[in-house]
Amino acid sequence: MSSSALGVQAAGVSPRVARFRYNKLGKIRFTSHRDVGRMWERALRKISLAVAYTSGFSPRPRIAFGFALPTGAESVAEYVDIALALDQAHELSEIPAQLTPALPDGLEVTGGVILEAGSPALQASVTSSTWHLTVPPSAGLAERLHALLAETSFEIEVERKGSSVLADIRPGVLAAELNDGQMNDESVITCDLSAKGTRPGDFLRALGADPLEARILRTQQWIDHEGGRAEPLAPGAYFAPPDTSGGPEPFAEVVKTVFREDSIDVGPEPVPVFAAAPSPARHAGRT
Amino acid sequence: MQATGGGGGRRLGSEMSIWPTVEPLLGRVQKPARYIGGEDGFVIPTHSPSKVAWLLVYPDAYEVGLPNQGLQILYEILNERPDALAERAYAPWLDMEQQMRSNGVPLFSVDGHQPASAFDLVAFNLSAELVYTNLLNCIDLAGVPVRSKDRRPEHPLIAAGGHCTFNPEPVADFVDFFVIGDGEEVVAEITTVIGDWKRSGRTEGSRENVLRELSKVPGVYVPSMYEVEYEGPALKAVTPRYPDVPATVEKRTIADLAAWPYPKSQLVPLTEVVHDRLNVEIFRGCTRGCRFCQAGMITRPVRERPAAQVRQMVSDGLARTGYDEVSLTSLSSADYSGIDDVVKGIIDDPACSGQVGVSLPSLRVDAFTVGIAAEIQRVRRTGLTFAPEGGTWRLRQVISKLIREEDLYGAVESAFSQGWQRVKLYFLIGLPTETMEDVEGIAELARNCAALGRTHTKKVSVTASVGGFVPKPQTPFQWFGQDTVGSLKSKVGRLRDVTKRDRGVNLRWHDPQATLAEGIASRGDRRIGTVIEDVWRSGGTFQEWGEYFDIARWEGAMERAGLSIDWYVHRDRDESEVLPWDHISAGLHKDFLWGDWQDALAAAGTEDCRWTPCYDCGACTGFGIEHVVASNVPPAGGSQGTGQDLSTGGSVPVRLLTKAGAS
């Protein structure tokens, strides 16, 4: 099995890693992070994209996702890294357009690049995410938000692994602002929450808002970059046209990701992490 | 026009969609993906007055119901028709049901999120008796009175198909009409009748008329067209109320599986389900004649799908779905003519890149089968499952599961020698004529298998899985008094005692109380309907799920209805007794079944009728069709679990039909 076309590591060569950015919008937001992993695996097989497989008893395609989006949340900034087998014959620039129809409705690939060898994994590099939290209007919401931001510590009861624990959610809130009533009498909180820090649902509850009444949308994920921050892959970033002989492939310098042999799993299921930066901020220099 | 794909909530076109009322509930329930549809292959059909709208319901959890092939086949066939459309629904889990009831949300389709009231009929798949209370719950959630007699023209018709309908009586008061047998052809005739009703405006009193018309469709049973008479506890007769209603409803049988290459677009769920892989049905029916097996009896004769079509469905299906595993399904897949060639063809297909796994459900117990298993599990040799069913050769002759000990040991030896470490053995307890010696035979077989394994591996594990036998209608054991809970428990206890010190032998058993509840529903008559309604009204849904099953509900309901568990479940019937399903025919002659029952009591097995002269059970002759098999020579080697010596091949009494035989 390891000598199959997909088992590149049999040849002892590091595969190239492609990073794709995609949306998760609509009904499909009720599927879990793990479900999305399976959708990607099937889509790769549907378009016959030659993917590198793990070696061992039970080979799996080498796919790594970033921090999981909570079930029920939408996003226009999801990422996946896929190790391509060296003999894959696809025109790289055509892959995103082929993937979208192979994925279920609601998942749409919006960009893709080849990463420079040795680039860090998504889960190792993403530091925060920006969220749009749309909630029904609620008296005093602005005051509660200001009060929360004025504190250095804010403890609430949160659910972790099925039990209720006290957690300080304030350090994970990097920035937040409220836009009241701009859309149909709804309030939109734009916030940056640190990865591994504060979950959007917990932040809402800290503000006295019911997460079940909210529409949660991730608009950006951020990585540290040259003293500022950047998105792991800017929207619209695509593979360079074929025949970029030699030089680094486009955007490869932006992110460096590494595939470790054991970094194939989709991550833990109830995925906690959401990070964000304040208002849709500066992109670290790319358009 | 049908929109295919399309899972985005905002893209739903129909003005009747109740998605906006469903969506707010989904954050409050477990596994919300159960309710969103959007599977690869789904359709959102457009409702119109010229189309009969079918809501196909599997009355159990989404992850159990979604893979059901029968439902998917009809879903496609109906949506291909210009005069019909079909959507799907599944039983909402308890948390979702509570949300739906407290927010006034009715049962809805997962495709277009249409309320059940948008459909002309709601058709249920009944694959197991313990879903009967879920059937009632779904009818109630659909906004339809649970009893047929209380329904009005504005209510959709309630239909049911599936294996349980071979005794429809326990749910006859809740279902307007049943479809007996294969559904592929008859749904067209039903659509025509219901289309006329729909165009007539479903006026006052028209419900009786449409049901009367439906009762004339071959294979359709309308219980309200029949008078049931009792004589004390006994059933006296079930007779048609009108001369044009058939006295006996014969099952429908499609003669040629090759004409029905469905599902063509198997649904690929967005979330995890059971059997989450490509499923290709390679034949329907079974000739083995195991006497306990209702599926084998009611789906005769054998109809094989041509090998070329199987290969085509596999390669098309894998390419379309992106699955990396295919299951070749049937009641005994190793019996398919040339199964080894088909399996090798899939594995060696360059398009599969060596990454495709093949699975064969219901492995036959012999070394030949293990050879095929070795072929398809080149890498992951985790576990193999065999079903000897009975612990001694005597008992296996009683049940006509003619596996010799050397067949089993040969299979197990072959498995362990080729790298498997875990073997699972399925057994039934509570079988006719069973003694404690037969029960202990289970332990002995498991023990000997483990000993065989130890010559190959230290990590040997043999699991004996033991289930209580429930006699089923339309089988030779339909006259047999089911074993009691106490007796089943003592047999399990005995097995626990005698396997306690056996290294490498594990014992698992099915809850004998669930076996009892299944027995109440399995051979009940119409009076059992009261019991099912009582259990449902007391909150007893999802009875197939251990955490929600409570035998006290069933026992209490029987007592309140004044019905005797002993009479319905544990009593041997005699030849002259009118059975509640006598007016439903699977083609099997009652005297054949009775003769087979007498042979069983004499511990005489019935050999596989594929290789031996016809017993005239009625299934072939009655319908003017025959077994459709591609090979007239039994595969050489061993008995293939038939108890016969087939080592040299043999002559075949069946005449081969050219269409399927031409592969």
pLDDT at B27: 94
Q: How many angstroms separate the CA atoms of B511 and B546, rounded? A: 9
Contact criterion met (CB < 8 Å) for A4 and B324: no
Nearest CB partner across the interface for B32, out of A41, A71, A104: A71
* Residue A250 banded pLDDT, cuts 50, 70, 90: very low
Nearest Cα residue to B491 out of B456, B529, B441: B441
CA distance B5 to chain A (A): 6
User: In chain B, what residues touch A32 (CB-CB under 8 Å)?
Assistant: 33, 271
Question: Is the C-alpha dihedral spanning B395, B400, B401, B405 positive or negative?
Answer: positive
Lowest average pLDDT, out of A209-223, A239-253, B132-146, B496-510, goes to A239-253
* Residue A238 banded pLDDT, cuts 50, 70, 90: low
Q: What does pTM read for this prediction? A: 0.89
pLDDT at A16: 83
Look up residue A75 and give its two tokens: 């996003």
Residue B280 exposure: Cα atoms within 13 Å on the Cβ side: 30
Look up residue B543 and give its two tokens: 């009875």
pLDDT (tens digit, 9 = 90+) per residue, B517-554?
999 999 999 999 999 999 999 999 999 999 999 999 99
Residue to substitute from A6, A30, A98, A133, interface B, most B β-carbons within 10 A = A30
Higher pLDDT residue, A62 or A218?
Answer: A218
Decide if A6 contacts B352 (C-beta within 8 A): no
Residue B281 has pLDDT above 60, yes or no: yes
Residue to substitute from B18, B29, B40, interface A, most A β-carbons within 10 A = B40
Q: How many angstroms separate the CA atoms of A53 and A8, rounded? A: 7
For residues B190, B193, B198 and B199, what is the CA-based torsion angle, rounded to 10 degrees?
140
Q: What is the mean pLDDT of residues B194-210?
A: 94
Nearest Cα residue to B340 out of B309, B308, B368: B368
Residue A7 has pLDDT above 50, yes or no: no
Q: Which residues neighbour B299 within 8 Å (Cβ) at sequence distance 6 or greater?
A: B284, B285, B286, B331
pLDDT at B455: 93
pLDDT at B196: 96
Q: What is the mean pLDDT of residues B70-78?
A: 98
* Residue B594 banded pLDDT, cuts 50, 70, 90: very high
pLDDT (tens digit, 9 = 90+) per residue, B352-408?
666 788 888 767 787 777 777 777 766 556 678 889 999 999 999 999 999 899 989
CA distance A248 to chain B (A): 31
Q: Strand ranges (DSSP E) for B551-593?
A: 584-585
Decide if B491 contacts B439 (C-beta within 8 A): yes
pLDDT (tens digit, 9 = 90+) per residue, B31-62?
999 999 999 999 999 999 999 999 999 999 99
Contact criterion met (CB < 8 Å) for B26 and A72: yes
pLDDT at B436: 97
* Residue A180 banded pLDDT, cuts 50, 70, 90: confident
pLDDT at A89: 66
Q: How many angstroms separate the CA atoms of B212 and A187, rounded? A: 58
Look up residue A205 and give its two tokens: 């509850």
pLDDT at A267: 34
Decide if B191 contacts B83 (C-beta within 8 A): yes
Give Cα separations from B326 to B68, B280, B353, B355, B604 (angstroms): 15, 7, 14, 11, 38
Q: What is the mean pLDDT of residues B637-645?
A: 51
Q: At B340, phi and psi to the nearest 5?
A: -65, -40
User: In chain A, what residues touch B380 (CB-CB under 8 Å)?
Assistant: 57-58
Look up residue B349 and give its two tokens: 């297909």
From the number of C-beta atoms within 10 Å of its C-beta (0-12, 13-18, 19+), residue B608 rates as buried
CA distance A250 to chain B (A): 30
Look up residue B186 and give its two tokens: 């008859």
How many whole angstroms from its chain centre is CA B116? 25
Decide if A155 contacts A139 (C-beta within 8 A): no
Which residue on chain B is closest to A35 by alpha carbon? Answer: B271
* Residue B335 banded pLDDT, cuts 50, 70, 90: confident
* Residue A120 banded pLDDT, cuts 50, 70, 90: confident
How many whole angstroms from its chain centre is CA A121? 12
Contact criterion met (CB < 8 Å) for A4 and B353: yes
Which residue on chain B is closest to A211 by alpha carbon? Answer: B27
b/e for B125-160, b at 16 or more Cβ within 10 A? bbbbbbbbbbbbbbbbbbebebebeebeeebbbbbb
3-state secondary structure of B324: coil
Look up residue B33 and give its two tokens: 């993906």
Residue A8 has pLDDT above 90, yes or no: no
Interface of A with B (CB under 8 A): 1, 4-6, 25-28, 30-32, 34-35, 38-39, 41-46, 57-59, 71-72, 102, 104-106, 211-213
Model-level ipTM above the cut of 0.85: yes
Angle subtended by helix axes B186-199 and B206-214, to nearest 10: 160
Decide if B297 contacts B262 (C-beta within 8 A): no
pLDDT (tens digit, 9 = 90+) per residue, B395-447?
999 999 998 999 899 889 988 888 888 999 999 999 999 999 999 999 999 99
Q: How many angstroms separate the CA atoms of B233 and A235, rounded? A: 75
The DSSP letter of residue B202 is: -
Number of Cβ within 10 Å of residue B651's Cβ equals 8
* Residue B150 banded pLDDT, cuts 50, 70, 90: very high
Give Cα separations from B582 to A197, B239, B241, B478, B502 (angstroms): 67, 11, 16, 11, 47
Higher pLDDT residue, B618 or B350?
Answer: B618
Contact criterion met (CB < 8 Å) for A25 and B8: yes
